[in-house]
Structures are given as structure tokens and as C-alpha cells.
Amino acid sequence: MASTSRTRTGRGRGRGSGSSSLPPPPSTLPLIIEEFFIVVYEDPLVKKVRTPKKIADYLDGKEPAKVYLRAADCGPRLWTVEVLFDGQGRMYLDKGWEKFAIAHGVDFGWFVHFKYEGDDVLTVKVFDGTMCRRYYYSDDEDTDDESDDDVKPCIHPL
């Protein structure tokens, strides 16, 4: 009868070859935060919105004074948003967030996804109450949003 060799599948407590193809546990990996999201639980037109605590922890010691939001698929326009750190480990998107929320129709119960693109620029994707992504376009080629009375909304095609 032919001899067959059996290999262990890695289940249980067997004696393996000593090498493991498993990745290191998450606690030993460096913390790199490039993406995060918020769920809008309060009035989105308030002056500030709180980001996840891990973002504030990650930025501890290198807190930006402002970030620039760019809606994905909505042209080159950058929305300047001041960043507030409250000294208690929390970070907020402050002045400028309200204009961004108005222009993109952000509403209660929506999901807003942020991706860090470098140079304090965050690309933003907005998901409505049905959890479907909203796609926008803009006829505004101007990237300067310093005028408080000139909030041109991005348009959501039907």
C-alpha cells in the first residue's frame, strides 16, 4: 500500500513547521488612518461636527488648523473647514462645515465618508438616508470659497 503524507491544516494545537502565514495581531501594526466616517445624528447645519476619537488621537501633536474638503465627483472646488481640538481628546470640523453641508444637502441620518488625500485635503463621499451614495456635479469652476454669501450648491442629478 502506498504511503500518504498528511499535512496539518493549522487547526487546533498541532505541531506545525514553525512558520505562520498569519499577519501580526492588530495591536502590533502601526496606526495609519486614511479614511473615516461620521453618521449625522444631529442637525448637520450646526457649526461643528465631531470626528471619531481615533482621528484626534492620531493627530495629537500635529493638529491642523484647517482642512480642505473636496466632494468626490463634484469638480475641483475645495471647501475650507477650520478644525477645533477641545483639549479633551476630541476633534471637530468647525467653521466652514455648515457651508459644505448646505451645498451638499447633508441631512439627519446620513453617512459621510472622508478619505485623506494628503496636504490636509479630504475627499468626501455622501450617502443619504437610504444608504446609497449621492453623486454630485458642479458647474462652478472657481476653487475659491472665501465668500460667505456665495454658497453654490453641488447639484445631485435625479
pLDDT score of 147: 46
pLDDT score of 143: 44
pLDDT score of 148: 44
Quick one: which H or E segment has residue 80? Answer: strand 79-85
DSSP assignment letter at 81: E
pLDDT score of 61: 84
pLDDT score of 42: 84
pLDDT score of 122: 92
Residue (of 122, 139, 34) closest to 80 by Cα position: 122
Q: Which amino acid is at 102?
A: I
pLDDT score of 146: 47
Residue 54's CB is within 10 A of a number of other CB atoms, namely: 12
Q: Which amino acid is at 2?
A: A
pLDDT score of 47: 75
125-149 as b/e: b if 16+ CB within 10 A: bbbeeeeeebebebebeeeebeeee
Mean pLDDT (10-residue bins), the chain, 158 residues: 50 52 65 84 84 86 92 86 92 93 90 91 92 76 47 54
